[in-house]
Amino acid sequence: MEGALAIAVVSCNLLLLLGLSHSLPLCTNSWAPSRLNTSLTFCPYNETSCCNSTEDLQLQKQFQAMNISDLPCASVLKSILCARCDPYSAELYTVDSSTRPVPVLCNSSVALNSSQSSQQVNNFCSNVWDTCQNVSIVNSPFAPPLQVQGALPVNSNVSKLTDTWQSKTDFCNAFGGASSAGSVCFAGEPVTVNNSEVPSPPHGLCLEKIGNGSYLSMYAHPDGSNRAFFSNQEGKIWLATIPEEGSGGTLGLDESNPFIDLTDEVHYDTLFGMMSIAFHPKFAQNGRFFASFNCDKVKWPECTGRCACNSDVKCDPSKLGTDNGAQPCQFHTVVVEYTANGTAAQPSLATSAKPSEVRRIFTMGLPFTSQHGGQILFGPDDGYLYFMMGDGGGGGDPYNFSQNKKSLLGKIMRLNVDNIPSAADINKLGLWGNYSIPKDNPFSEDTDLQPEIWALGLRNPWRCSFDSERPSYFTCGDTGEDLYEEIDVITKGGNYGWRVYEGPYPFNPTQTPGGNTSVNSISPIFPVLGYNHSEVNKNEGSASITGGYFYRSKTDPCMYGRYLYGDLYAGAIWAAIENPGNSGSFNASKIPFGCAHDTPIQCNSVPQSTLPALGYLYSFGEDNSKDIFILASKGVYRVVRPSRCNYTCSKENVTSVASPGPAATPRSYASRLSNPYNNLVLLVTSLSQFLLLFV
């Protein structure tokens, strides 16, 4: 790569090819590939594809209009046109997928990726030139994309490669490229990645207990410091200091002094409460943060809003009956904005916040008393607020809300809370509150969708996260009904199947007052990971998945890159590795775990066992050093160095155990591009805190 970039014209073109990568099968419109009921007629795809039959026919007509008389060249051009249908087309068209006429052609001028054979990679761009250079092509896709060196003026819609390019080198500088760590190039046939041996799972996960409290959510302080916010289900949020790993310190959290107390507004019960918190990415400057919780309109007058069961989705609340003694829409899910402004010299220094609402972002009445999700988090690249909503309960989603594109139940929403229309501009206000709709939400391509919707077909998403190194990996745990718990990689407009499917299994509801969705009418995206209920609790069958994080800390190098998740009831933890890389295919292993011999707080043990008793595994958390935490009913645990539990990890440098805790893992290039002022903000914040010591 470096040698090629040394040449000016190659540098110009290759920089265009180094677009931000998705690193998993994805189409040029950012949607996931669809499952095909029948094979495409023109293009060679029969299982999943980024084209449907209509698009396949359009490509065939485009090919026929090129009027290519030379059969070998025609075959090459057909394969190139059909690359639009490849499940990896988002990677193949890495410059501008809406205007780039051809995929990135594998070119030997750049270093090769082992996932594609060297023979294919070395030859394809050169083969295109050798095969088609003197063939006349009507409306050739190889017209110069830019005024670049080597391109010749074209005055006709019929041209040969030699009419528009001075040489093979110039041609491949413009259209060639190579596979890299997060992208692929086109070698003339559908993209495949070689199977590789699945790495052996780590010997164990070592934990230290640093807190005794029971918390539902954790959010790293946006200022990049060693602080984090913790919240409980009752409605309190605390600001805590996290000790260095191995220092012997405990969580610096004063239960008697919460950052904010919202217990008067929050309705707390087994299935209700404060579900999540989210702090604006620029909280250190603007003081904005958000809480997602449930309220009871009988007890709190401010708990009022439109019912999720309404005429838009052909649902009559008066016919729902009661649920555990509650009337339909007695309970609401709300997202509320608060502020820390005015409580300190600057928000980054605030240790408390105002309990009064700044604005109500979202309010929706719930038809039943379960499965209402409630997590909120900001996208690391786009800055939008993602809001996870369950199907509303009722057992088997009887009203089929999850598949109803006009309902927000069973959906993941994506909202813009930075561009909030004024109350006077009522036509621009969101139907359910104070937000605006990102223009690239999938409704712009699927007009049947409510504009808030990012993904659909979920039962009760419980704990989602973005991979800090690959933000396009947006991963959610989705709790099952009777049989299966699942982990999904969420993509724009993705339909995750519920209640047509429960995980990979067809689901047959016992009641269907809201009608059914036929199997053939959807293209479900099946889970990348999951387990049957019987696998974790053979006696009771109880299971409820808790989604986690990709492990990106340097603390346990043998766990690095694996996705950690668990089960609420079973206290079980899994570690999954993507194999092959960039495939979206995962292999998981249940991981044994233990408590460090020098844990700051003694771990309670499972009876007749040395294993730590976590209790209920509510959530996972991640701090600014990318260390992973487990939030359980028995306390707060952190993943630490394997040697502290006598687990063997060949990658761990045991001689450096006395060194300070790990530095924060650098964020991805894409993330840094999205906010180029992060480092400056952190520097100014740290300097301000230092100067205040002398005031």
Confidence (pLDDT) at 654:
60
> Average pLDDT, stretch 259-273?
97
Would you say residue 404 has pLDDT above 90?
A: yes
Q: Which of 128, 157, 177 is the last residue of a domain?
A: 177
Most confident of 24-33, 65-74, 663-672: 65-74
Tell me: the pLDDT tens digits for 139-186?
A: 999 876 555 555 666 657 888 999 889 999 999 888 888 776 556 889
pLDDT bracket for residue 327 (50, 70, 90): confident
Range of the domain at 683: 671-695
Find the largest Cα–Cα distance for the chain.
84
Q: What is the mean pLDDT of the chain?
A: 86
The structure's pTM equals: 0.87
Query: Of 159, 177, 195, which residue is a domain's last?
Result: 177
pLDDT tens for 112-125 read 444 444 444 458 99
pLDDT at 676: 35
Q: What is the pLDDT of residue 406?
A: 97
- Decide: residue 478, CB within 10 A, 0-12 exposed, 13-18 middle, 19+ buried: buried
Q: pLDDT tens digits for 59-98?
A: 999 999 999 999 999 999 999 999 999 999 988 987 555 5
Residue 121 is assigned to a structural domain of this protein: yes
Residues near 326 by Cβ (< 8 Å), separated by ≥ 6? 369
3-state secondary structure string across 612-673: ECCCCEEEEEECCCCCEEEEECCEEEEEECHHHHCCCCCCCCHHHCCCCCCCCCCCCHHHHH
Spacing of C-alpha 98 from chain mean position: 23
In a domain, 141, yes or no: yes
Q: Which has the higher per-residue pLDDT, 630 or 200? A: 630
Residue 100 domain-assigned? Answer: yes
With a pLDDT cut of 70, the percent of the chain lying above it is 83
The Cα–Cα gap between 262 and 276 comes to 13
Q: Is the pLDDT of residue 610 over 60?
A: yes
Q: What is the mean pLDDT of residues 204-210?
A: 97
pLDDT score of 662 more than 70: no
Q: How many angstroms separate the CA atoms of 167 and 164, rounded?
A: 9
Q: Do the domain assignments include residue 426?
A: no
Mark which of 177, 205, 234 sits at the end of a domain: 177
Mean pLDDT of 252-278: 97
Rounded (to 5) percent helix, strand, coil in the chain:
20, 25, 55
pLDDT band at 4 (very low <50, low <70, confident <90, very high): very low
What are 407-461's pLDDT values in tens digits? 999 999 999 999 998 766 666 667 899 999 999 999 999 999 999 999 999 999 9
Residue 411 lies in a domain: no
Highest mean pLDDT among 6-10, 13-17, 613-617: 613-617
The answer to the question of residue 689 being in a domain is yes
Backbone angles phi, psi at 416, to 5 degrees: -100, 110
Give the pLDDT confidence score for residue 541 in this predicted structure: 58
Residue at 81 is within a domain: yes
pLDDT tens per residue across span 477-523: 999 999 999 999 999 999 999 999 999 999 999 999 999 999 999 99
Give the pLDDT band (50/70/90) at residue 9: very low
Structural domain contains residue 11:
yes
Q: How confident is the model at residue 312 (pLDDT cuts 50, 70, 90)?
A: very high
**What is the structure's pLDDT at 543?**
93
Count of domains observed in the chain: 2
> How many CB atoms are located within 10 Å of the residue 20 CB?
17
Distance of alpha carbon 280 from alpha carbon 236, whole angstroms: 18
